[in-house]
Amino acid sequence: MGQRIGFAAFIRGAVLSAVMALTASVASAQQGEPIKIGMSMALTGALSSGGKVMLITLQMWADDINARGGLLGRPVKLIYYDDQSSGSQVPGIYAKLLDVDKVDLLFSSYATNVVAPAMPIIIQRKKVFLSMFCIGLNDQFKYPRYFSLHPAGPDPKPAFSDGFFKVALAQNPKPQTIAIITADGEATRLVTDGVHEHVKKNGLKIVYDQRYPLNTTDFSPIVRAVQAVNPDIFFLSTYPIDSIGMLRAINEIGFKPKVVGGVLNGLPAPVLKAQLGPALNGVINYEFWLPTPAQASAEALEVIKRYQVLAKGAGVDPIGIYVPPWAYAYGQIIEQAVKGAHSLEDDKIAGVMRKATFKTVVGDIKFGPDGEFAKGRMLTVQHHGIKGNDIMQFKDTSTMEVLYPPQFATGKLIYPYEKAK
């Protein structure tokens, strides 16, 4: 079972100090026992770079609510345990939250691999559940009280790579062959399921298609095997640490197919981009939201600014343009759903979530019948012009171009890949 750790204590103290001046007036406005919100969270392990940031932002959201007098007139209290980025820890954590801590509401952890294991107990206890950055999770469960905070849209598996293929296959000469490499995990396999749909639809020839174990640390043999079949497109479906290892191997070996990229999970986080530096140039990947004039509201920019203050000294992403806007939107959705239901009853909250359009820092969000976004809005980007490993070069979009969708596009693909190196 995970436990609260030093990092969690740090962020709690940091956020509380930021709102201390409001405490006296808020206390008089709040009545009754706190509304307890419980969650598993990836505070250590492979997913912790996102989990820690998510927790900092959710705590900021909770303190904002309490500064306004609480939710339904009651203060909000977050209760969380470290799932160590391991799905095996998750069922026990949610059982403890429900049976020992007696929480009122449940939040999800960060990403598919540590959210999916919670679903059986969520369904058994008939809890409403909003997941964070999960791919096609409800395809299996068909659970009517499940909702997904992920911009892929109603058909998430092919949607994750839709922009990639639209951009890549519009090039001249048109790519004809593809190599696919997949980390052997739930989320990455779901992405590749969607890739195969695009391959079949567009008549591409698969020359390499393999999975690798999640404990892989040396990616050079994989890259050399792909290089030997000389594909036009090298599509990667990887986890954060793997994404770094794979791209480093591509650069060290000097492999230069026409198109490199895919769904490299975690790489929208500036802290991971900085580890790669120029090795990221030319790579196509996804983004969920960016601080561009077409997307960034004043409220979103303010959330990022406040997060940056809280992140100082916490050993986390200091920029905050990837996870914080979405984590804050997560809280806003639950807040609006509870207020709309005038209740903490899961069925009433789920009823609101099925019908309402939610106003959030990342824009309006409406859920479709399966709990996914009613309309997708994934971004496809290409990285370029990265010099050295200074993380601050990733504070905006100066080192990337948005390629898709057209309404958000800021430039064209540099093709072939080696021209961006």
Q: What band does 1 get if pLDDT is binned at 50, 70 and 90?
A: very low
Place of tokens 């990403």: 111
pLDDT tens digits for range 242-273: 999 999 999 999 999 999 999 999 899 998 99
pLDDT tens digits for range 265-312: 989 999 899 999 999 999 999 999 999 888 889 999 999 999 999 999
Average pLDDT, the chain: 92
Q: What is the mean pLDDT of residues 147-159?
A: 94
Q: What band does 233 get if pLDDT is binned at 50, 70 and 90?
A: very high
- Using DSSP, state whether 129 is helix, strand or coil: strand
**Distance in angstroms (rounded) separating the CA atoms of residues 96 and 109:** 15
**Distance in angstroms (rounded) separating the CA atoms of residues 285 and 236:** 9
Tally Cβ neighbours within 10 Å of residue 251.
21
DSSP at 161 = H
Cis amide prior to 117 (ω within 30 degrees): no
| CA-based nearest residue to 101, from 10, 15, 31, 40 | 40
pLDDT at res. 11: 55
SS3 content of the chain, % helix, strand, coil (to 5): 45, 20, 35
Q: What is the mean pLDDT of residues 153-162?
A: 94
Q: What band does 21 get if pLDDT is binned at 50, 70 and 90?
A: very low
pLDDT at res. 377: 93
- Which tokens in the block code for residue 265? 């999970």
- CA torsion 316→320→325→327, rounded to 10°? 0
Whether residue 59 is predicted with pLDDT greater than 80 in this model: the reply is yes
Q: How far apart are the first and last CA of the chain?
A: 45
Amino acid at 363: G
Q: What percent of the chain has pLDDT over 90?
A: 86
Q: What band does 14 get if pLDDT is binned at 50, 70 and 90?
A: low
* Helix H or strand E segment including 141: helix 138-141
pLDDT at res. 12: 53
**Extended strands (E) in 22-136:** 35-41, 76-82, 105-106, 129-132
Q: What band does 31 get if pLDDT is binned at 50, 70 and 90?
A: low
pLDDT at res. 8: 54
CA 392 to chain centre: 21
pLDDT tens digits for range 314-333: 999 999 999 999 999 999 99
Buried b (16+ CB within 10 A) or exposed e, 252-288: eeebbbbbbbbbbbbbbbbbbbbbbbebbbbbbbbbb
Whether residue 10 is predicted with pLDDT greater than 80 in this model: the reply is no
Sorted by sequence, the CB contacts under 8 Å of residue 366 that are 6+ apart come out as 356, 357, 358, 373, 374, 375
pLDDT at res. 20: 45
185 phi/psi in degrees, rounded to 5: -130, 170
365 phi/psi in degrees, rounded to 5: -130, 130
Alpha carbon distances (Å) from 410 to 61, 87, 101, 290, 379: 32, 38, 48, 12, 11
- Using DSSP, state whether 56 is helix, strand or coil: helix
Q: Where in the chain is the domain with CATH 3.40.50.2300?
A: 6-152+296-366, 156-292+378-420
pLDDT at res. 294: 84
pLDDT tens digits for range 137-151: 998 899 999 999 999
Q: What band does 46 get if pLDDT is binned at 50, 70 and 90?
A: confident
Alpha helices (H) along 210-322:
220-229, 240-253, 270-276, 298-311
Q: What is the mean pLDDT of residues 400-415?
A: 95
Q: Which of 27-31, 70-74, 86-90, 145-149 has the lowest mean pLDDT?
A: 27-31
pLDDT at res. 135: 86
153 phi/psi in degrees, rounded to 5: 100, -165
C-beta of residue 208 within 8 angstroms of C-beta of residue 179 = yes
C-beta of residue 90 within 8 angstroms of C-beta of residue 117 = yes
pLDDT at res. 24: 39
Q: What band does 35 get if pLDDT is binned at 50, 70 and 90?
A: very high
Please state which CATH class domain 156-292+378-420 belongs to: alpha beta
- CATH, domain range 6-152+296-366: 3.40.50.2300
DSSP at 370 = T
pLDDT at res. 4: 45
133 phi/psi in degrees, rounded to 5: 60, 50
Q: What percent of the chain has pLDDT over 70?
A: 93
The model's pTM: 0.87
